[in-house]
Amino acid sequence: MTEVDILGLSGSLRAGSMNTALLRAAQKHSPAGVSVTINENLGDVPLYNGDLDTENPPAAVRELREAITRADGLLIATPEYNYSVPGVLKNALDWASRPAASSSLTHKPIAIMGAAPGNFGTVRAQLALRQSFVWTRSRVLTRPEVMVFNCAERFDQAGNLTDEKTIELIRELLTALREQVRG
């Protein structure tokens, strides 16, 4: 079978982001038949402006849309800001979701995970994110849910995910995403 290409998007721009670290762990521990590429450029995407949303959009937007379109599926790692999706991530998705009925997100298989330092592991942000993907008609997995609470204790000093249970959950998530892609 052909390799399934997954694009990883992180909702955090911090260099030491644990959500980006979750994506690196997904890349390292991906199951057979799955290849994960991490998009490092959400910070280059300008704030959405309908006046710029033309046939000739900003370069970073065009590249994001093309990368999503090329990918077989998305793996999103989101922190929770103000009980919801970070503006950084929402802004990227606002661009990616256009034009409305035939965007890069339409029918795209998507898996969601998230890490937070506190007890509640981004559960609110993940539900808020799902709400946007109803509009885009994306195919979002319901299981497993990967909600990494108390995340600081699950990484080593170098920022590598070391918690076996979380690694296994991420592998299960990618396996489910692979099956979703292969239909």
Contact residues for a copy of itself, defined by CB under 8 A: 12-17, 42-43, 45, 47-51, 81-94, 97, 119-121, 123-124, 127-128, 130-138, 142-143, 147, 149
Q: How far is the CB of 36 from a copy of itself (least distance, A)?
A: 23
Can you tell me which residue has the tokens 């497993």?
144
Q: How far is the CB of 47 from a copy of itself (least distance, A)?
A: 5
All residues at 6 or more sequence positions from 73 whose CB lies less than 8 Å from its CB, including other chains: 4, 5, 6, 7, 108, 109, 110, 111, 177, 180, 181
Beta bridge partners of 77: 10, 113
Neighbours of 115 (CB within 10 A): 28
Query: What is the rounded distance in angstroms from the CA atom of residue 167 to the CA atom of residue 154?
Result: 10
Q: Among residues 35 and 117, whose Cβ is nearest to a copy of itself?
A: 117
Q: Among residues 36 and 181, whose Cβ is nearest to a copy of itself?
A: 181
Q: How far is the CB of 35 from a copy of itself (least distance, A)?
A: 27
- The string of DSSP letters for 36-105 reads EEE---GGGSPPP-GGG-SSS--HHHHHHHHHHHHSSEEEEE---BTTB--HHHHHHHHHHT-SGGGSTT
Would you say 103 and 97 are in contact if contact means Cβ atoms under 8 Å apart? Answer: yes
Q: How far is the CB of 161 from a copy of itself (least distance, A)?
A: 18
Q: Among residues 24 and 124, whose Cβ is nearest to a copy of itself?
A: 124
Q: How far is the CB of 92 from a copy of itself (least distance, A)?
A: 7
Q: Among residues 36 and 170, whose Cβ is nearest to a copy of itself?
A: 170
Q: Among residues 83 and 152, whose Cβ is nearest to a copy of itself?
A: 83
